Amino acid sequence: MWQFDKNVASSFDSHARQHIPNYDTVIDKSLDVCELYGKSAKIIDVGCAIGETLIRLHNRGFTNLHGVDNSQSMLDKCPHSIASLTCSETLPEGLYDVIIINWTLHFIKDKKKYLQNVFDKLNPNGVVIISDKTSLDPLAIGMYHDYKRAKGVSEEEIKQKQESIKNVMFIDDIEYYFSILKFTGFSKVHIIDSYWCFTTFVCIKR
Ligand SMILES: C[S@@+](CC[C@H](N)C(=O)[O-])C[C@H]1O[C@@H](n2cnc3c(N)ncnc32)[C@H](O)[C@@H]1O
């Protein structure tokens, strides 16, 4: 079964770029959204992992940074001096201008409940950025696996990963996201990136 343990934490940097299409592009786009709220915006990265996004936000001059992850092994690799870090599977208390949930919500079974909490903890005009795997369609999965092959992932590893994430990742399609995001109360939902199986949504609370 897939786990974000010490092993994964030590190789996550390269693992992410081999397994997550548009990894760097999506982070850059997320930072561009943060810029709309100014350098002192209160930003939390949910599933901050080893801190890639927090580091880039810090390097761009953002000062009010927070991260949450439910894996202590991942957080141990995250630089503690640039953000307040919490090990938890729920969103820490507080009100935020920007909540980033890149490649993490699909590990949470009750997305509706998590998103309601996100909505409640956003300031008016706040924004949540969500990137998730949004398809299990065989054609899309085939194209996604071609992406992994092109990045040097072996057939064996592709197969093993596919097995290990069963019952760990909870995949829903784009229509489901639109419906629960609207139901939760987000007035505007934009898609700012997509690749076979993956979608990035920007949702604004008005
Ligand atoms: C694929 S990684 C996310 C990558 C990261 N957002 C990035 O940009 O590099 C998923 C992360 O979500 C964390 N995670 C899974 N379920 C979580 C939950 N309920 N709350 C917080 N973090 C969670 C995992 O420990 C892992 O570090």
Strand 84-87, strand 96-102: pairing: unpaired
Please tell me the predicted confidence (pLDDT) of residue 78: 97
47 lines ligand 1 (CB under 6 A): yes
Domains identified in the chain and CATH numbers: 6-204 (3.40.50.150)
- pLDDT above 90: percentage of residues in the chain: 99
d(CA 50, CA 145): 24
- Write down the pLDDT at residue 183: 96
Which segments of the chain have a pLDDT < 50?
Answer: none
Task: Give the helix ranges, DSSP H, for 20-151.
Answer: 23-35, 52-59, 72-76, 111-120, 138-150
Helices 52-59 and 23-35, axial angle in degrees (round to 10): 50
181 lines ligand 1 (CB under 6 A): no
Nearest atom within ligand 1 for CA of residue 26: 8
pLDDT at 144: 98
